[in-house]
């Protein structure tokens, strides 16, 4: 029951928006960057990796990216169906202490959809989540992402 409560709770991902990520030096990275930090309490215990996808709001087929269209086993859309509308995607492994920080660079301003999948050691998706908001350079944004077990 506790595991289900954790998975169904809202995971608030703090998107730290800046013009440059540089650790004290200007390394030439332009555009908007964000960081998402997860702890062991945010993800199912069996999670070994996180897949992430950032989609444009206006999709190439003329529709818009809305989380409700991508969530659940009966979802009419899947993120892999929109490779031309993906701004960024990737996979990160969970560290031995269970924490994970994703850093995504070179994002455009505007409304973006963030879709995440928690994956176990066998490569099975065990939870997924989605959130969207308008990203504006220089403005800190909080995007709530609700992780659920019912995934496509």
Arithmetic mean of pLDDT, 128-151: 88
* Residue 10 in this model has a pLDDT that exceeds 50: no
* Residue 51 in this model has a pLDDT that exceeds 80: yes
Asked whether residue 45 is domain-assigned, the answer is yes
Give the tokens for residue 113.
Answer: 């959809």
In whole angstroms, give the CA distance from residue 89 to residue 145: 16
Report which of 38, 37, 48, 43 is spatially closest to residue 3, judged by C-alpha positions. 43
* Sign for the pseudo-dihedral over CA of 38, 39, 41, 43: positive
Asked whether residue 152 is domain-assigned, the answer is no
CATH of the domain at 109: 2.60.40.10
Task: Report residue 81's pLDDT band, with 50, 70 and 90 as the boundaries.
Answer: very high
Q: How many domains does the chain have?
A: 1
Asked whether residue 81 is domain-assigned, the answer is yes
Asked whether residue 128 is domain-assigned, the answer is yes
Asked whether residue 151 is domain-assigned, the answer is no
* Residue 110 in this model has a pLDDT that exceeds 50: yes
* Residue 22 in this model has a pLDDT that exceeds 50: no
Asked whether residue 44 is domain-assigned, the answer is yes
Q: Print the domain residue range for 19.
A: 2-146
Whole-number average pLDDT of the chain: 78
- Which range among 31-35, 40-44, 62-66, 137-141 has the greatest average pLDDT? 62-66
pLDDT of residue 105: 81
pTM, two decimal places: 0.78
Asked whether residue 92 is domain-assigned, the answer is yes
């Amino acid at each position: 029951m506790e595991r289900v409560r954790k998975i169904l709770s809202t995971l608030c991902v703090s998107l730290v928006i800046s013009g440059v990520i540089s650790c004290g030096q200007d390394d030439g990275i332009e555009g908007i960057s964000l960081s998402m930090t997860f702890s062991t309490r945010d993800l199912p215990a069996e999670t070994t990796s996180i897949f992430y996808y950032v989609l444009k709001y206006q999709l190439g087929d003329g529709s818009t990216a809305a989380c409700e269209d991508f969530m659940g086993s009966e979802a009419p859309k899947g993120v892999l169906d929109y490779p031309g509308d993906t701004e960024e995607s990737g996979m990160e492994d969970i560290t031995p202490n269970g924490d994970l920080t994703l850093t995504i660079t070179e994002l455009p301003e505007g409304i973006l959809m963030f879709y995440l999948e928690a994956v176990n050691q066998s490569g099975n998706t065990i939870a997924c989540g989605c959130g969207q908001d308008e990203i504006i350079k220089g403005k800190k944004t909080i995007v709530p992402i609700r992780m659920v077990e019912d995934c496509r």
